[in-house]
Chains A and B, each alone.
Chain A
Amino acid sequence: MHSLVKAAAIAGFVLFGGFFCVVTWKLLTGEISLSYLLDGDVRDSGSSTGFTTDASAGRTQTLLVTISVAGYYLLQVIHNPKQLPSISPWMVGVLGGSQALYLGEKVQAMLPGRMGDFFK
């Protein structure tokens, strides 16, 4: 049975590592585009499409918080790979708050009338 476990570990490593490498490679070479990742849609009555784009603080802070939380979690696993580490509730709260800010900015920028004014 031991060789079966070893074979499963190797298969998992090859597949997971392969998917990770392929996606990372395509991100690095630009085949998967990251253009406009930090730009958000904004309602603009002057534009022919009704929307225009602008740099978004909400997206930027979401990206920073996401990378911080993901990096922290990965470090925890590397330090103690015997169990999946739990995340402190305040960190989940920070992530939730960051997402709420991002969504609030999105609503304010895109929805007209009372919904948008609510977040102003």
Chain B
Amino acid sequence: MKNPEFVASVVLAIGTAFVIAVFFRNEDPMTKVKLAIAYAGLIMLFLFGFLILAAIASGKIDISQLLEEKGADAANGGASMGRFQLLIFTFVIGLSFFLVVLYKNDMPNIPTNVLALLGVSATTYGVGKGIQATAQDNKENGDGGGNGGNAGAGGAPRAGGD
């Protein structure tokens, strides 16, 4: 079995559903089913998330290149501003969303400007990648860039991606 942790999570969630169904004896059958499914889903989602979190923390899932991107010379690059920005906005808006749900006990409305904020950031990342790809194409086609065919022959260390 390749991923026994995931199978164990599913089995545990199903087991929880049975326990919940037995535990809430005085509830009517429909409520029992709803509660069992809700608890099982919650436990399964939590365990899946926790497994991924544990794998990232232990290094089994490598995120060391989370912010890195290949540079214009197609070498391994430094940190990408677009990725860093997306990371910051994702965390800030995710944290805000979580706080609001916690206080309100309900799903909040997401203002259009907040979506625009994420959109601007994601668009910049996409356009930056496009510019970079165009620059690489131009270089490969010999369209400027000097003696680009000698890549790797001791050039300057490269900078970040986009």
> Chain A interface (Cβ within 8 Å of chain B)?
1, 4-5, 7-9, 11-16, 18-20, 22-23, 26, 31-37, 39-41, 43-54, 56, 59, 62-63, 66-67, 69-70, 73-74, 77-78, 81-89, 91-92, 95-96, 99, 102-103, 106-107, 110-113
Nearest 10 pairs between A and B by C-beta?
A36-B78, A45-B146, A50-B148, A112-B144, A50-B145, A53-B159, A39-B159, A49-B155, A86-B111, A49-B73
Task: Please count how many residues in chain B sit with their CB below 8 Å of the partner chain's CB atoms.
Answer: 84
Some 14 contacts from A to B, beta carbons below 8 A apart, are A4-B38, A11-B49, A20-B95, A32-B67, A33-B68, A40-B160, A45-B145, A49-B155, A51-B73, A51-B145, A66-B89, A95-B117, A106-B131, A111-B131
C-alpha spacing A9/B130, complex, angstroms: 40
C-alpha spacing A5/B39, complex, angstroms: 10
B78 touches A83 (CB 8 A): no
B26 at the interface (CB under 8 A from A): no
